[in-house]
């Protein structure tokens, strides 16, 4: 398989800092066509920042971020908007537009970008809603939905323009086991049935293991391990073990950097 032409998202040697703190330093990541790629890592390792780099909401200070072979940072805002029309993104809490009902939320991209006649819009919207099992909820407002339902509606909205890439930002956070299973199955389904290249950012190791083809473990600004979920599960690197087994202390320290404990307690600490 030709890996270079197969890469839909290709991140090379990227550096990025926020307020003087390095988030990434020499990050290399590839998401290949038609596969589900998972980015895992502890909170605060810049998983969401990575998504912002890929979608052109932020630009790397060094290195290259290519999507469909095009350098994201060199795109004009018009090209960037054209690129985003080929991407669907599922936000952590759905990010549904609160003043529109479920139906209009899913129809929103169609109304903004196409001139389709109403019967066709209706058909597309109902098809996508049916795919996520919420055709019956079409006339509910976002405030009437549970967390899991809101995310499914957001998924329907993300696929309504038939994107080539689907990006999931923490799709499992705060869901009950049933909703989690539903979302998991949907991610797999979207990938298999529609051939959509999927990128999932999450720290739910178990869920990801069942769906991801490739996975990356990020920690402290770089990739500490990559491979299939099974390979990661077998790895004996300290960083991988700490994350996979949920150990409190390890390469990611339990204690936030502080002065000497004894000194601080007995001497009232540094003046």
Partner 1 sequence: MNADTDSLPVAALRRIGAMTLFLVQVLARIGPALLRPGLIVRQIYNAGARSLVIIMLSGMFVGMVLGLLGFDVFQRFGSEDYVGVLAALGNLKVLGPVLTALLFAGRAGTALTSEIGLMKSTEQLTAMQMMAVDPVRYVVVPRFLGGFIAMPLLAATFTVIALYGAQLIGVQQMGVDAGAYWSQTQNAVDLHDVWEGVVKSLVFGVAVSLVAVYEGYHSQPTPEGVGLATTRTVVISSVLVLLLNYLLTAAFLRTH
Q: Rule CB under 8 A: which residues touch partner 1?
A: 55, 57, 81-82, 84-85, 87, 89, 91-93, 95-98, 108-109, 112-113, 154, 157, 161
| Backbone phi and psi for residue 5, each to the nearest 5 degrees, phi listed first | -75, -15
| Shortest separation between residue 224's beta carbon and partner 1, angstroms | 28
CB closer to partner 1 out of 26 and 109: 109
Q: Which two tokens stand for residue 161?
A: 């323009």
Q: Please list, in sequence order, all residues whose beta carbon lies within 8 angstroms of the beta carbon of residue 219, skipping any fewer than 6 positions away.
A: 41, 42, 45, 239, 243, 251, 252
| Shortest separation between residue 118's beta carbon and partner 1, angstroms | 15
The C-alpha atoms of residue 106 and residue 101 are separated, in whole angstroms, by 9
| Shortest separation between residue 124's beta carbon and partner 1, angstroms | 15
CA separation, residue 30 to residues 40, 115, 170, 201, 219 (Å): 14, 35, 19, 14, 17
| C-alpha triplet 15, 78, 89: angle, nearest 5° | 65
CB closer to partner 1 out of 166 and 224: 166
**Secondary structure element (H or E) that encloses residue 214, with its range:** strand 214-219
Bridge partner list, 12: 64
Spatial CA neighbour of 216 closest among 51, 20, 61, 69:
51
CB closer to partner 1 out of 169 and 214: 169
| Shortest separation between residue 163's beta carbon and partner 1, angstroms | 10
Q: Radius of gyration of the chain from Cα atoms?
A: 21
The C-alpha atoms of residue 211 and residue 188 are separated, in whole angstroms, by 6
CB closer to partner 1 out of 7 and 161: 161
Spatial CA neighbour of 162 closest among 124, 200, 199, 112:
124
CB closer to partner 1 out of 93 and 127: 93
CB closer to partner 1 out of 95 and 126: 95
| Shortest separation between residue 132's beta carbon and partner 1, angstroms | 17
| Shortest separation between residue 109's beta carbon and partner 1, angstroms | 5
Spatial CA neighbour of 187 closest among 71, 67, 88:
88
| Shortest separation between residue 220's beta carbon and partner 1, angstroms | 25
CB closer to partner 1 out of 112 and 118: 112
């Amino acid at each position: 398989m030709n890996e270079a032409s197969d890469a839909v998202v290709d991140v090379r040697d990227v550096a990025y800092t926020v307020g003087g703190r390095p988030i990434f330093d020499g990050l290399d990541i590839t998401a290949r066509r038609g596969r589900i790629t998972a980015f895992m890592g502890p909170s605060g390792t810049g998983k969401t920042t990575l998504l912002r780099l890929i979608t052109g909401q932020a630009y790397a200070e060094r290195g290259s971020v290519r999507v469909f072979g095009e350098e994201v940072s060199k795109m004009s805002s018009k090209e960037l908007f054209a690129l985003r029309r080929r991407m669907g993104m599922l936000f952590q809490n759905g990010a549904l537009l609160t003043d529109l009902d479920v139906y209009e939320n899913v129809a929103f991209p169609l109304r903004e970008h196409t001139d389709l006649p109403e019967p066709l819009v209706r058909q597309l919207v109902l098809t996508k809603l049916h795919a996520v099992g919420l055709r019956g909820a079409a006339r509910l407002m976002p405030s009437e939905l549970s967390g899991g339902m809101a995310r499914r509606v957001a998924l329907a909205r993300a696929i309504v323009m038939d994107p080539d890439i689907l990006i999931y930002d923490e799709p499992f956070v705060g869901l009950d086991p049933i909703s989690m299973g539903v979302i998991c199955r949907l991610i797999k389904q979207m990938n298999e049935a529609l051939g959509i290249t999927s990128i999932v950012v999450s720290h739910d190791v178990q869920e990801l293991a069942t769906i991801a083809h490739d996975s990356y473990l990020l920690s402290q600004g770089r990739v500490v391990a990559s491979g299939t979920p099974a390979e990661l599960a077998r790895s004996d690197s300290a960083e991988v073990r700490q994350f996979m087994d949920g150990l409190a202390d390890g390469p990611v320290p339990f204690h936030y950097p502080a002065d000497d404990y004894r000194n601080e307690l007995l001497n009232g600490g540094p003046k």
